Amino acid sequence: MKAIADVCVVPIGVGVSVSKYVAVCERIFRDAGLDAHLHAYGTNVEGEWDAVMGAVRKCHERIHEMGAPRISTSIRIGTRTDRAQTMQDKIDSVTSKLDE
Amino acid sequence: MKAIADVCVVPIGVGVSVSKYVAVCERIFRDAGLDAHLHAYGTNVEGEWDAVMGAVRKCHERIHEMGAPRISTSIRIGTRTDRAQTMQDKIDSVTSKLDE
Amino acid sequence: MKAIADVCVVPIGVGVSVSKYVAVCERIFRDAGLDAHLHAYGTNVEGEWDAVMGAVRKCHERIHEMGAPRISTSIRIGTRTDRAQTMQDKIDSVTSKLDE
Amino acid sequence: MKAIADVCVVPIGVGVSVSKYVAVCERIFRDAGLDAHLHAYGTNVEGEWDAVMGAVRKCHERIHEMGAPRISTSIRIGTRTDRAQTMQDKIDSVTSKLDE
């Protein structure tokens, strides 16, 4: 089952700057061979459901190993059976309507 | 790795009433032996990470089988390594401060 | 416009325990006259859109005053025009299907 | 109070394609003078808290007017008092650590 997800990982108890933890997640997504695009409040990730969710789990494991005692992650995940759709398709579908 | 999650599944393309799909998810969580509590905008689920996320995947599979062509789910998932904490502990921790 | 929301406030940079901040939000929701129900990963809130969102803003203001330098909140908010529906209606609609 | 938000609006009961509704939201964000960046699972929005949240409310109103009987929106919203930070700052902060 293919999925498109949006993942925002928030380490708690490591102070106010969390960018180094987010950078580690970016690497995990890429090392997993997932198509990943960082934005200002999370990361779009596209791939097989288990690969996407396995990578999110690995983010938690790695961030705990780095010393964060607590992590709260928010995820949106979408699947569809009517047709194949990539992340770029979703963006194009909206922007084509903006140009009208 | 133990996790506490909050899961809100939104089937798209099946009309305005989605409660029968949410009820199916409730059964999936319970059949998986997870501690699950329905609220007005999602379900709290507690258990091992893979059991929780496996159940969410099964919700998508089952709801697609029921005819929904598209599903968008929002998930919060938290883990901590400093101490064990149940869903009830989290609630008690807040309500004890309300009584002060 | 009536709304049903689910709000999860995460203060960042104040250590691992966040329950006292969540307790403050509970009081803000209640003082605003909103119907609010705490669960293990957020709070269900029901009321007029502006009252609900105004209370969330007040949560951020108050938690910053308490010393938290950064806050990340996740919100689900739903509105419908086809019929009136309370938080209890939503829960009843699902649980009635569980009993079938 | 400045805020950075991520907004994902899901109209329910209007079929499987929701891109025209998302396009309407994009226009609302831009017409409000907000800095907005569409991604594959939502839109990053930056501005004053009330301007951002007022625009989200306007999205609901407009989408209901277009005929959607029900809408479920997921929002992340962040504020910080320790320093000013733009959406681009957040992205740069992570990517600089990827290059290390």
- Quick check: A65 pLDDT over 90? yes
Q: What is the pLDDT of residues A3-27, one digit of tens each?
A: 999 999 999 999 999 999 999 999 9
Distance CA A19, CA D97 (A): 8
Neighbours of D58 (CB within 10 A): 16
Put simply, whether C77 touches D (Cβ < 8 Å) is yes
Between B64, B74, B80, which is nearest A79 by CB?
B64
- In order of A96, C81, C86, D79, D83, the CA distances from C34 in angstroms are 41, 20, 12, 23, 32
What tens digit of pLDDT does each residue of C37-74 get?
A: 999 999 999 999 999 999 999 999 999 999 999 999 99
Contacts from A23-32 at CB under 8 Å and sequence distance 24+?
A23/D94, A23/D95, A23/D97, A23/D98, A24/A59, A24/A62, A24/A63, A24/A66, A25/A59, A25/A62, A25/A63, A26/D94, A26/D98, A27/D98, A28/A55, A28/A58, A28/A59, A28/A62, A29/A55, A32/A58
Interface test with A, best of C16, C20, C75 (most A CBs within 10 A): C16
Mean of the per-residue pLDDT values for chain C? 96
C-alpha–C-alpha distance, residues A39 and D92, integer Å: 10
Q: What ipTM describes this predicted complex? A: 0.95
Q: What local confidence, expressed as pLDDT, does residue D100 receive? A: 61
Q: Is D78 within 8 Å of chain C by CB?
A: yes
Express each pLDDT in B8-44 by its tens digit. Answer: 999 999 999 999 999 999 999 999 999 999 999 999 9
Give the residue ranges of DSSP H helices in chain D. 19-31, 49-65, 87-98
Helices C49-65, D49-65: inter-axial angle, 10-degree rounding: 160
pLDDT digits over D19-71, tens only?
A: 999 999 999 999 999 999 999 999 999 999 999 999 999 999 999 999 999 99
CA distance B14 to chain A (A): 13
Does B18 reach chain D within 8 Å, measured CB to CB?
yes
| Percentage of the residues of chain B whose pLDDT score is greater than 90 | 97
Residues of D in contact with B69 (CB under 8 A): 16
What pLDDT score does C86 carry? 95
> Residue B56: its pLDDT value, please?
98
- Is the entire prediction scored with pTM above 0.90? yes
Q: Quick one: what percent of chain A has pLDDT higher than 90?
A: 97
Per residue, the 3-state secondary structure of B9-70, as one string, reads EEEECCCCCCHHHHHHHHHHHHHCCCEEEEECCEEEEEEEHHHHHHHHHHHHHHHHHCCCCE
| Structural tokens at position B74 | 């929002």
Task: List the chains bordering chain B where 3 or more Cβ pairs fall under 8 Å.
Answer: A, C, D
Report CB contact under 8 Å: B15, D18: no
